[in-house]
Structure 1
Amino acid sequence: MSTTLLEPTAPPRQEIRQPRRNPFLPWLLLSATMVILGLLTGYPVLRLVVMSFQEYERAQLMGQPAEWVGLDNYATVLTDVEGFWTVLLRSFVLMVVLVVITMVLGMLVALLMIRIGKGLRLLVSIGLLLAWAMPSLSATTVWGWVFDTQYGVVNNVLTALTGDRWFGYSWLLNPLSFFVILTCIVVWGAVPFVAFTLYAGLTQVPEEVMEAAQLDGASAFQRFRLIQLPYVRGIITVLVVLSMIWDLKLFTQVFVLQDIGGDRELTNTIGVYIYQQGMAQGHYGLASAIGVIFVIVMLAIAYPYVRRTLREEEL
């Protein structure tokens, strides 16, 4: 008797229907957040733009209507060479110095954390966290005490070592030493974030690649330049852009040091300059125009970061 083997037949293929997506659902879920952001961010920005076209002085705070002056405030700001442009140039130079020093020290600390042992790495991390967690106001006040004219540690140590030459010396009154102290304060508080971020990126470099390069005779600097640096190039770009934005809008450190003993006219940065034009002198329309120009500058700086982020999302 012959038997016939029947091949199993595959079940009929059924089409998997994907549920229809509601195009309005994402907007509905984001509506509450968008309303809150619109109230907290959108309205102040809109108010800033409106005031920049008005002659808004202290009298308008008492209820008097503001007069529309068109682009007069912008013309006044952009033609103020000794005021606005000097402060803006000073802010940009300070920003470049701060970003370069912060990135170099942050990279060195990150490389150090990779090479040292676990115990020392823990101590370094704790020290960085303490410096990072200290508020800017408290840190600036402490540094002001360190460089105090009469009771500062620096003046007392220098006086004990060299005589009475440094007794009563005002570090903050001299613009150059003022910005040196300001650089120490800002870099001291910014290095931890850069170091931790770069350390997290450097730990993702494959050890096999580093060991192979070392066996091939590559020096430590060559391994850093040809292997480690390309791995963290994207992180460095983001850190540079963020540092530029943070350092360009410095306010607390500059304002507190000026209040301790600095010359405001010679040490103003753009953030303090806007505050003085508005709150101190009462020219709110003029300060708003400076603020709008400053926002445009900040958007131009942030554009590469946003463009890079969008490109990474498309990949």
Structure 2
Amino acid sequence: MPEQLTPERLGAQVAPGALAPGGAPAAGARPRRRSTGQRLAPYLLLGLPVLLVCLALGYPMVRQVVMSFQEFGLAQQFGRPPEFVGLRNYADVVTDPYFWVVVGRSIAFCAVSAAVTMLFGVGFAVLMQHVSRLPRILLQSALVLAWAMPPIAALTVYTWLVEPRYGFVNWLLTSLGLQSFDGYAWLAASAWTFFLVASVTVIWTSVPLVTLSTYAALTQVDEEVVEAAQLDGAGGFQRLRHVVLPIVRPVVLLLLMLQIIWDMKVFTQIKVLQAGAGNNERTNLLGTYVYETGIGGGDYGMASALATVMLVLVLLMTWRYLRTLMKQGDL
């Protein structure tokens, strides 16, 4: 018969009175307190990553805010001290009509691209749950390849597809009898066709992450909950809408928030496609507008103010989703 544990045998690990008769822990026994090192270990492990992020992102952000209150142009790059101008750069930004045109254009582009990306991404994730193993592996492989393709290479392919004389899109449309698309310049014809092509390129590179992340969340849904809903008479769409999606809602909201941030500050796709558009003024979004003002025009003070306003807009657009996640305890 094993010996009963007593406070004397446990030594200092258990306080007197912590064990009930028979060796079981007493109901009011206090757990052993963690040492100072154990309590500080998580903070110490997080300290280095936080320090690296602050060094990599903190200084550029602080420098950007400081420059937004200065007159910082080409002369300052050659040694002239910058002049403090207060809120003049911000006043020039918000009173410029073209700035609000770019803001409205950027918000519309972001809303459409993010919505279509989430629709296709979640749809593909649900589809992957209902197909056999081989088609699922093929779809996953195709998504990973699309995601891994360098953006410049993908944009080169899209530029060839919409090339006016020899592009596949125009050839296909004219073969179907739509002769008006013979030699049609998708990038230069109008802003609508330009942003249609740009939106397709952005969605192409964004759908894989949404799909794979959502699919990973769907695989963690308890099958017993879904089966219980099925036994209660819920159909396939009802189970998806009222059972599955509410469970993975935090993941979907986080992906939507990230997608809004990425689409709001999109730059590479727009800048590369503008080479075939010939008119940047009607195709600028906030990212390219900041670039043209700073790098192209040499007015880094104004560009810093634009970038700061852009940051505020992104935070305002994602604040609702941040609050939702924090209320749910996921942040």
Query: So what's the TM-score if we normalise by structure 2?
Result: 0.84
Runs (5+) with no aligned partner, structure 1? 1-6
User: 1:286-305, aligned counterparts within 5 Å?
Assistant: 286-304=302-320
Which residue in 2 is equivalent to 1:149? 164
Whether 1:104 and 2:119 are equivalent positions in the alignment is yes
Which residue in 2 is equivalent to 1:120? 135
- Give the residue type in structure 2 aligned to 1:190: S
Aligned partner of 1:72 among 88, 95, 100: 88
2:106 and 2:286 in contact (8 A); partners too: yes
Distance in 2 separating the partners of 1:114 and 1:28: 40
Distance in 2 separating the partners of 1:218 and 1:311: 29
Which residue in 1 is equivalent to 2:18? none
Distance in 2 separating the partners of 1:29 and 1:8: 40
Distance in 1 separating the partners of 2:154 and 2:307: 27
Aligned partner of 1:190 among 187, 203, 206: 206
1:175 and 1:263 in contact (8 A); partners too: no
Q: 1:236 to 1:19 in 2, by over 3 A?
A: closer
**How far apart are 1:77 and its partner, in Å?**
0.3
Deviation larger for 256-265 or 286-295? 256-265
Distance in 2 separating the partners of 1:209 and 1:8: 43
Whether 1:93 and 2:114 are equivalent positions in the alignment is no
- Give the residue type in structure 2 aligned to 1:167: D
- Give the residue type in structure 2 aligned to 1:188: W
- Give the residue type in structure 1 aligned to 2:271: F
Which residue in 2 is equivalent to 1:199? 215
1:80-124: per-residue Cα shift (whole Å, max 9, x none)? 12x111111111111111111111111111111011100111111
Which residue in 2 is equivalent to 1:3? none
Whether 1:230 and 2:246 are equivalent positions in the alignment is yes
SS of corresponding position for 1:205:
coil
Deviation larger for 148-157 or 13-22? 13-22
Deviation larger for 209-218 or 246-255? 209-218
1:178 and 1:262 in contact (8 A); partners too: no
- Give the residue type in structure 2 aligned to 1:293: V
SS of corresponding position for 1:172:
helix
Q: 1:262 to 1:140 in 2, by over 3 A?
A: farther
1:4-46: per-residue Cα shift (whole Å, max 9, x none)? xxx9894436443646415877666656545433332111111
Which residue in 2 is equivalent to 1:220? 236
2:194 and 2:277 in contact (8 A); partners too: no
Which residue in 2 is equivalent to 1:4? none
- Give the residue type in structure 2 aligned to 1:161: L
Q: 1:9 to 1:183 in 2, by over 3 A?
A: closer
Whether 1:175 and 2:191 are equivalent positions in the alignment is yes
Q: What percentage of aligned pairs have identical amino acids?
A: 43
Deviation larger for 178-187 or 8-17? 8-17
Distance in 2 separating the partners of 1:8 and 1:35: 51
Which residue in 2 is equivalent to 1:46? 62
Deviation larger for 250-259 or 207-216? 207-216
Q: 1:168 to 1:64 in 2, by over 3 A?
A: same
Which residue in 2 is equivalent to 1:285? 301
Distance in 1 separating the partners of 2:205 and 2:44: 40
SS of corresponding position for 2:187:
coil
SS of corresponding position for 1:162:
coil
Q: Note the aligned Cα RMSD (angstroms).
A: 2.6
Q: 1:288 to 1:218 in 2, by over 3 A?
A: same
**How far apart are 1:275 and its partner, in Å?**
0.3
1:175 and 1:262 in contact (8 A); partners too: no
**How far apart are 1:207 and its partner, in Å?**
2.3
- Give the residue type in structure 1 aligned to 2:158: W
**How far apart are 1:216 and its partner, in Å?**
3.3
Whether 1:263 and 2:279 are equivalent positions in the alignment is yes
- Give the residue type in structure 1 aligned to 2:59: Y
Distance in 1 separating the partners of 2:91 and 2:36: 51
Distance in 1 separating the partners of 2:62 and 2:178: 58
Which residue in 1 is equivalent to 2:71? 55
**How far apart are 1:281 and its partner, in Å?**
1.1
Aligned partner of 1:245 among 257, 261, 279: 261
Structure with more contact order per residue of length (Cα contacts < 8 Å, sep ≥ 6): 1
1:51 and 1:285 in contact (8 A); partners too: yes
Distance in 1 separating the partners of 2:178 and 2:226: 53
Which residue in 2 is equivalent to 1:130? 145
**How far apart are 1:215 and its partner, in Å?**
3.5
